[in-house]
Every structure is written in C-alpha cells, then in structure tokens.
Amino acid sequence: MDPLRQSPSPSSSRASSPRTFSCERLGYVGIEAVLDQLKIKAMKMGFEFNIMVVGQSGLGKSTMVNTLFKSKIWKSTMPGLRVPMPQTLQLHSVTHVIEENGVKLKLTVTDTPGFGDQINNDKCWDPILGYINEQYERYLQEEILITRQRHIPDTRVHCCVYFVPPTGHCLRPLDLEFLQRLCRAVNVVPVIARADSLTIEEREAFRHRIQDDLKTHSIEVYPQKSFDEDINDKILNSKIRERIPFAVVGADREHMVNGRCVLGRKTKWGIIEVENMAHCEFPLLRDLLIRSHLQDLKDITHNVHYENYRIIRLKESHALPRGPGWVNLAPTPSPTPTGTRASPGPGKVCRWAEDDSDEDF
C-alpha cells in the first residue's frame, strides 16, 4: 500500500495543499464499478506484447514460440532443409493478432537467428542491444512530440527469453556476457532448452549451478528481486525464482497418449509430453509469461527499463545547459552502441542533471 501522498502544491497561491483523511465508507457508492470500466476500456483497446527469443540455432526457439502461443507463428526451421546458415546475426520480427474470449492480443515475436553461431562471437549481443534500444528510442521520440498520438504504439521488447544449451555443466562465457549486458536493458527469462536430453537429477544440478553463476555475477533475471513491492509479491516471486531457469521442451506436433491428444515429442523410448509437469517445466514458463506476469513484464519495461534509457539519453547532451523544465536530447546515437555503454542498474540512483549557471548577468 503506497503511503498517502501529498499533492504537489500548485503554483497559484490560492489553493492550499490538500490534507488526507481516511474515511470509512457506509452504504453503496459504486466505486468498484470502476474496475469494470477499466476492463471494458482494456478489451476495446486490445493488448500488445513483444517477446524476443535469443539462443543458438537448433535449440528449439521457433518451436517453443509456436508451442507457447499454440499457433504457427513461424515455420519451425529444421536442419537439413536447404536453408543456409545465416552468416551474420539477423533479427527477424513477426507480428500476429490473436484473440481469446474477446481479448485481443497483438503479439510481436523477434527471433535472432545466427546468434552465437559464428566462430568469433565477440560483440554478438550488440545488434540485439541495438534493436532493443531502437525500440526505446522510437517510443521516446513519439513521447516527446508536441502533438502526440492518443495511444503510442508500443514496440518495446517486454521480455527476452534466453535459451541456454543443455550442457549440464554451467553457464558458458558467451551466456554470461550476454546475460550481464541484457539484464540491465530488458527483462530476461533464461530457460534450459531441449531439456529432454537431461535427466531430472541432471536438470536439478544444472539449474543450481546456473543459479549460483547468476548470483556470482550479480545478474538479475526476471522476476527481479529489487522490484518486489510487497510481501505477497515476494512470496510469489521467490517460488518462481527457485525454479528459474525452467527446463523446457517445445513441440508442435500432437500425439495420442492414453486416448488423449497431447502436444509432445515422440521418440523411440517414449513420448515427452510438453504440458506434463513431470516431464518438463513448460507450463511454468507459459504461466509466468502469459497467465500471471504478462502485465508485470510490461510494467517493468515501461517504468524501469524505459525510464533508465530515457535518463541516459536525456543526459547525453552535455553541451546544452540543463534545467528542471527542459527536455534535452542529443542527436540520435548510432544504432550499434559499443559494448561499454554505462547503463545504470535498475536499483541505482541516477544523479540529477546539474544546472549550468553560466547565465549570471
């Protein structure tokens, strides 16, 4: 419960600053009808969600996306077909509108084929960071227009799912580098891909080792501990944090198991059911991303990551004198920022812009 906040006293001296009273309500007023109003408004406007999948080729990214949204977002790329391996990192976005029970969702999925596939993978995260920042930049430009649109189209990446190859050992240097950089700019959810190659015990050991690695390198993946607002959030999120990274298996083919039709992978030694909690943790991932934390992902992107980006952008122009009322913008930086961009962590406090007092007469 956020503390009672005083209104900022208006500049006109005539209105006094408000006092806060706590009143007990008796009888019916109808304030809670505002929730229905909210719902109606939201349903009319529709929702937007942008997700990015990052990982080496062959880890099942496209299949996973198809499984998550139960539709053919992409044709799953299979090796063997004469699709040449992309020589460079490309980002490929695709947008769909899906509807369920009157709720319209505009889903944008960005894939990164070619990530980590080269011999020299140095700075392979730059294009991805560049893309993420470009979306922030686009939103910022829209936001500072004089005549703004009623609803600014939101193309910012709300969630980045990072696929960790199931080596069973620990996070590789490439993984660490990437996670370190990206966690400061976007919500990252790491998953263990192709988890059907690990036994349950191996999975647990791998998971613990990954968690230790993340802690050692102070990489904060989603759900970030520093954004837990109250005790309920903490409890809920701690449970999730214990299971991160989820061990998932993706499949988009249906098979018959015990008379039921399930999504799964058929192998000679059995059928791995995707939605079976005993087989893999895909339901957890799906619940986290879609059923329970989707709005939270968007909120953190908007309130934290976007604000951090905005602060950096607005501070970048040192030539202009600064003041509390001015919006200062440097010319748009080149789309590929160097890897040493000093982005402040979400929990750190950014210094205020100092007022250049070169205006004394």
Partner 1 sequence: MVSCSSQKDSPRSLTMSGHVGFESLPDQLVNRSIQQGFCFNILCVGETGIGKSTLIDTLFNTNFEGHESSHFYPHVRLKAQTYELQESNVRLKLTIVNTVGFGDQINKEESYQPIVDYIDAQFEAYLQEELKIKRSLFNYHDSRVHVCLYFISPTGHSLKTLDLLTMKSLDSKVNIIPVIAKADAISKTELQKFKIKLMSELVSNGVQIYHFPTDDETIAKINASMNGHLPFAVVGSMDEVKVGNKMVKARQYPWGIVQVENENHCDFVKLREMLICTNMEDLRDQTHTRHYELYRRHKLEEMGFMDVGPENQPLSLQETYEAKRHEFYGERQRKEEEMKQLFVQRVKEKEAILKEAERELQAKFEHLKRVHQEEKLRLEEKRRLLEEEIMAFSKKKATSEIYQNQTFMTPGSNLRKDKDRKNEVCLDEAQLLKKHISSPRLQSEVLSTDA
Among residue numbers 308 through 347, which ones bind partner 1 (CB under 8 A)? 310-311, 314-315, 317, 320-322, 324-331, 335-336
In the list 59, 91, 182, 186, the residue contacting partner 1 (rule: CB under 8 A) is 91
Interacting residue with partner 1 among 52, 54, 59, 73 (CB under 8 A): 73
- Cβ 187 to partner 1 shortest distance, Å: 15
Q: 334 vs 340, which CB is nearer to partner 1?
A: 334
**Residue 316 CB: number of other CB atoms within 10 A?**
12
d(CA 300, CA 289): 13
Task: Tell me: does residue 354 bind partner 1 (CB under 8 A).
Answer: no
Please state, as a whole number, how many other Cβ atoms lie within 10 Å of the Cβ of residue 99: 9
Shortest distance (Å) from residue 31 CB to partner 1? 4
User: What's the closest the beta carbon of residue 200 comes to partner 1, in angstroms?
Assistant: 26
- Minimum CB–partner distance for residue 232 and partner 1 (Å): 9
- Least separation in angstroms between CB 90 and partner 1: 5
In this structure, how many other beta carbons lie within 10 angstroms of the beta carbon of residue 131?
Answer: 18
DSSP per-residue string spanning 290-326: IIISHHHHHHHIIIIIHHHHHHHHHHS--SS---TT-
Within positions 164 to 223, which residues make up the interface with partner 1, using CB under 8 A? none
Report the alpha-carbon distance of residue 206 to residue 245 in Å, rounded. 9
Residues 110-149, interacting with partner 1 (CB under 8 A): 110, 126-127, 130-131, 144-148
SS3 239: helix
* Residue whose C-alpha is closest to residue 188's, from 311, 306, 297: 297
* Count of residues of this chain found to bind partner 1 when the rule CB under 8 A is applied: 114
Considering only residues 75, 78, 90, 235, which one is a binding residue for partner 1 as defined by CB under 8 A? 90
Residue of 9, 26, 133, 103 lying closest to 294 (CA atoms):
103
Measured from the CB atom, the residue of 68 and 164 that comes closer to partner 1 is 68
C-alpha span between 244 and 207 (Å, rounded): 7
Residue 80 or 102: the one with the smaller Cβ distance to partner 1 is 102
Residues 36-55 that bind partner 1 (CB under 8 A): 37-44, 47, 49
Q: Are strands 246-247 and 254-257 parallel, antiparallel or unpaired?
A: unpaired
Name which of residues 270 to 309 contact partner 1 (CB under 8 A): 286-287, 290-296, 299, 302-303, 307
Out of 259, 334, 340, 352, the residue judged to bind partner 1 by CB under 8 A: 352
Residue 113 CB contacts under 8 Å (≥ 6 apart), including other chains? 57, 77, 86, 89, 90, 92
CA–CA distance, 132 with 159 (Å, rounded to integer): 11
Tokens (6 digits) for 200: 């349950």
**Interacting span for partner 1 (CB under 8 A) from 16-24, 77-85, 176-184, 196-204:** 16-24
Phi then psi dihedrals of residue 190, to 5 deg: -85, 140
**Positions in 226-265 near partner 1 (CB under 8 A):** 229, 263
Minimum gap (Å) between residue 183 Cβ and partner 1: 21
The nearest distance, CB 208 to partner 1, in angstroms, is 29
Per CB under 8 A, the list member of 96, 169, 239, 266 interacting with partner 1 is: 96
Q: Does 353 engage in binding with partner 1 (CB under 8 A)?
A: yes
State the angle between helix axes of 126-143 and 173-183 in degrees (0 to 180), rounded to the nearest 10: 10
Q: What is the smallest separation between the CB atom of 339 and partner 1, expressed in angstroms?
A: 14
Residue 106, helix vs strand vs coil: strand
Q: CB-wise, 200 or 330, nearer to partner 1? A: 330
CB of 74 to partner 1, least distance (A): 11
Residue where the block lists tokens 């959030």:
233
| C-beta of residue 174 within 8 angstroms of C-beta of residue 117 | no
